[in-house]
Each structure stands twice: as structure tokens, then as C-alpha cells.
Amino acid sequence: MKKVGIIGVGEYLPKKVLTNKDLEKMVDTSDEWITTRTGIKQRRLVAKNEAASDLAIKASYQALEDARLKPEDLDLIIVASITGDMPFPSVSCLVQNAIGAKKAACFDISAACAGFVYAVTIAKQFIESGLYKNVLVVGVEVLSSVTDWKDRNTCVLFGDGAGAAVLSQVKSGGILSSYLGSDGSKKDLLYIPAGGSRLPVSKETIDNRMHYIKMQGNELFKLAVTLMAEAAQIALKKAGLDCKDIDLVIPHQANIRIIMAMAKKLKLPEDKIYLNIAKYGNMSSASTATALCEAKKEGRIKKGDIILLDAFGAGLVWGACVIKW
Ligand code: UT7
């Protein structure tokens, strides 16, 4: 079996910063509540003329440079996003055109906050099978476009950003295992009611604020802890490893309390958990993607390290990958 690894990473965060103090002026909340309940201090927001593909393109160029590949070397682009530029075409086609990836096939996937883990797992299969050599995976979200800025339960949580990775065949290490899960029976815990074919845009859906994220945070919190811990254990078992073998966990960044409760379940020390939630909030598929990129840039990932990607989100969907760097 071919070994498949991540040979380059990149990211792009929009320039505008929205702090908890700024939010205090918008809804009935406080920096203290947001910090203690979520671990978030600030988040990035797109400018008026910026959309998902703009962020994805910048992250992609950086990942290609890190991988020392040219856009023409790409065989496939997979973008994980729930906030694409428009219903269609896909964000991946917009990226393909902008960077000049003339040879690449393209598609987007919808797996919310687990999107990057799902896309990395999909990319791995294409390379293992021998169909493609170099695959670009991007996690990008403009959650500010679907956030109800009048709802304090959700608007303090989300942010915008993009992370990218290039996957290719490697001589040693690589992705040792992947595990993906889902439970559509819990679809109503986190969703956007309108804007699709069930409830197309109408005056009524707009008046009722149905194009924004609706979330039952409490229920999700408990499920996130259980299912992320379970995903880690299953993926590690598949790789023939144990929690103590992990050098660094790159978790989805929804809430610092979720991450720490998961770490406690797995008996993992805090210094083995990578966090960027304080700076960026929850960026759905872009959270794990940017966290992986930043951990690499900061020297937290060294050759031979065992890395665990672990994510959970709307659907519900969840998953984990064990990677030997
Ligand atoms: O991305 C993957 C999927 N997402 C998640 O996994 C998110 C999971 N959920 C969470 O992270 C947490 O549940 C939240 C951060 C969303 C909420 O934290 P919580 O500790 O579960 O708070 P809660 O929903 O139980 O609310 C506690 C109180 C409520 O007031 P009462 O009813 O006790 O008087 C809320 O109204 O906090 C209130 N509250 C706020 N207060 C100040 C909710 N949002 C805010 C706010 N500022 N922004």
C-alpha cells in the first residue's frame, strides 16, 4: 500500500479583528462570559468584498509553496466548506481557475466542522489507489455570512478563515489511519433552516431570520466531548497506537472546555493539545486546517511525530486521523 502524507500546509486569515469587547457593544454579553465559557478572545471577519474562495486561494498558494509544487502539479482539489461563494459552482472550481491548476479535477464536500478531516481522508484514498498523485485539500469558511449578529447564543462563537494542505505519496510515515462517523438523527442540533431546496429564500424566511445558524449548544457540547474522544480512540487503535504515543493533538476548535474535557477523557496533558481558538473562534472546517498549519509553522510538529487530527460538527459528523509526520 502506498504511504500518503501531508507535504505542505498553508493558511489565510482575513485582516479584520472582532474582539469580545466589540461584541459587548452589539449584544448582551461580556468578555468575561465569552472567555470563561468558550476560550475565545477574538475572531477574524472577511471584508465586504471577500468571499470563501478569496481566502481559499491565498491558503492554497501558501500550501503549494510549502510543498514545493506548482499549481499544474495538482491532480485534484477538494474544498471542505459550508459557506461557499454561491450555491454553485464549487469553491474548488473557483480556486482551480484562480491558481491555474489546469490538470486538476475539483469538488467540494459538506461535512461542516469535520470537513477537513473528511477531505484529508478522501484525498488519501485517491492517492493510495494510484488515480492521483498530488491533491490539494482546503478547509474554508465565511461563517460571518450565516451568523445571526443579534443572537448572543451563537454570534460570539464563529469566525472566518482558511487552511490548506497538499497530500502526496511519502517515503515514510504519512496518514496511518482514519475514522469517520455520522448521525443524521441529530441534524436539528446545529443547522441553517432556509436557503436550500426545502425552504428557498423568500420574504418570510428572511423576516424570520431563517438563513442564520441555529444551535442547541448544551446538547452538542456533551456529544462533542464523547464523540471526539471516541474517534481518537478508534483511529489510534486502527493505527496500532495508544494515547500515550501522541505527540500533538490538532482538535476542532469549537470550545476550549470541549477540548479540555476530551483531553481529560483521553488522559492527555494540556501541552499536547494545540489551540488557536482564542485568536480565531470556531471556523468550522478551517479550524483544524489552520491549527495544523500554525502548529507546523511554530515548530510544534517535528519529523517522526504522531499527530492526531480530531473534529466534530453539524450533521452530525465527526472523525479523526492519525498521522506520522
Ligand atoms: O463546531 C462544532 C459544534 N459546536 C459545538 O460543539 C458547540 C458546543 N456548545 C458550546 O460550546 C456551549 O454550549 C456554548 C458556548 C454554546 C454555551 O455554553 P454553555 O456553558 O453550554 O451555556 P448555556 O447554553 O448553558 O447557557 C448558560 C447561560 C444561559 O443563561 P440562563 O438561561 O442560564 O440564564 C444563556 O442565556 O448563558 C447565557 N448565554 C450568554 N450569556 C452571556 C448564552 N450566550 C451568552 C453570551 N453572553 N454570549
Which is it for strands 248-251 and 135-142: parallel, antiparallel or unpaired?
A: unpaired
Q: In this predicted structure, what is the pLDDT of residue 1?
A: 83
Q: For residues 95 and 166, state if they share a domain.
A: yes
Q: For residues 304 and 288, state if they share a domain.
A: yes
- Out of 93, 252, 255, 321, pick the active-site residue: 252
Give the separation between CA 143 and CA 199, rounded to whole angstroms: 20
- Out of 106, 113, 155, 293, pick the active-site residue: 113
Shortest-distance atom of ligand 1 to CA 258: 11
Q: For residues 83 and 68, state if they share a domain.
A: yes
Q: What is the identity of the amino acid at 99?
A: I
- Out of 20, 255, 276, 282, pick the active-site residue: 282
Q: For residues 154 and 267, state if they share a domain.
A: no
The model's pTM = 0.97
Q: For residues 98 and 214, state if they share a domain.
A: no
Q: For residues 166 and 291, state if they share a domain.
A: no
pLDDT in tens, 40-97: 999 999 999 999 999 999 999 999 999 999 999 999 999 999 999 999 999 999 999 9
The answer to whether 309 and 285 have CB atoms below 8 angstroms apart is: no
Adjacent-strand bridge partners of 215 = 190
Q: For residues 23 and 106, state if they share a domain.
A: yes
Closest by CA to 182, choosing from 250, 121, 91, is 121
pLDDT in tens, 265-314: 999 999 999 999 999 999 999 999 999 999 999 999 999 999 999 999 99
Pocket of ligand 1 from Cβ distances under 6 Å = 29, 33-34, 37-38, 113, 152-153, 156, 190, 217-218, 220-221, 224, 254-255, 258, 282, 312-313
Q: In this predicted structure, what is the pLDDT of residue 291?
A: 98
Write down the residue that cell numbers 493558511 correspond to. Answer: 11
Provide the angle, in degrees to the nearest 10, between the axes of the packed helices 31-38 and 256-265: 20
Extended strands (E) in 148-281? 160-169, 174-182, 190-191, 214-215, 248-251
Torsion sign over Cα 126, 131, 133, 135: negative
- 282 is a catalytic site residue: yes
Q: For residues 158 and 182, state if they share a domain.
A: no
Q: For residues 22 and 167, state if they share a domain.
A: yes
Report the separation in Å between the CA atom of 188 and the middle of ligand 1, taken as the mean of its atom positions. 17
- 252 is a catalytic site residue: yes
Write down the residue that cell numbers 476550549 correspond to. Answer: 256
Q: In this predicted structure, what is the pLDDT of residue 54?
A: 98
Checking if the pLDDT of 146 tops 90, the result is yes
The percentage of residues in the chain with a pLDDT greater than 90, rounded to a whole number, is 100
Report the separation in Å between the CA atom of 14 and the middle of ligand 1, taken as the mean of its atom positions. 26
Q: For residues 141 and 24, state if they share a domain.
A: yes
Work out the number of other CB atoms within 10 angstroms of the CB of residue 48: 5
The answer to whether 308 and 232 have CB atoms below 8 angstroms apart is: yes
The percentage of residues in the chain with a pLDDT greater than 70, rounded to a whole number, is 100
CATH number at residue 50: 3.40.47.10
Confidence of residue 172 (pLDDT cuts 50, 70, 90): very high
Closest by CA to 179, choosing from 61, 289, 322, 66, is 322
Find the mean pLDDT for residues 170-186.
97
Find the mean pLDDT for residues 98-109.
98
Task: Count structural domains, the chain.
Answer: 2
Q: Of 137, 171, 205, which one is at a domain's C-terminal end?
A: 171
pLDDT in tens, 40-54: 999 999 999 999 999
Q: Of 171, 206, 227, which one is at a domain's C-terminal end?
A: 171
Residue with the smallest CA separation from ligand 1 atom 21 is 218
Specify the 3-state DSSP secondary structure of 295.
Answer: helix
Q: What's the grid cell of residue 16?
A: 479584520
Q: Of 153, 171, 189, which one is at a domain's C-terminal end?
A: 171
Closest by CA to 162, choosing from 89, 61, 59, is 59
How are strands ordered across the β-sheet holding 317-324?
A: 174-182, 317-324, 306-313, 248-251
Which is it for strands 160-169 and 306-313: parallel, antiparallel or unpaired?
A: unpaired
The answer to whether 225 and 277 have CB atoms below 8 angstroms apart is: no
Residue with the smallest CA separation from ligand 1 atom 13 is 217
Shortest-distance atom of ligand 1 to CA 313: 2
Q: Which domain holds residue 227?
A: 176-324
Give the separation between CA 27 and CA 42, rounded to whole angstroms: 15
Q: For residues 20 and 117, state if they share a domain.
A: yes
Mean pLDDT of the chain, nearest integer: 97
Using most ligand atoms within 8 A of CB, pick from 19, 21, 221 the residue to mutate for ligand 1.
221
Adjacent-strand bridge partners of 181 = 318
Query: What values do phi and psi take at 145, rounded to 5?
Result: -80, -15
Residue with the smallest CA separation from ligand 1 atom 48 is 152
Q: For residues 162 and 222, state if they share a domain.
A: no
Residue with the smallest CA separation from ligand 1 atom 43 is 153
pLDDT in tens, 216-274: 999 999 999 999 999 999 999 999 999 999 999 999 999 999 999 999 999 999 999 99
Using most ligand atoms within 8 A of CB, pick from 218, 222, 256, 317 the residue to mutate for ligand 1.
218
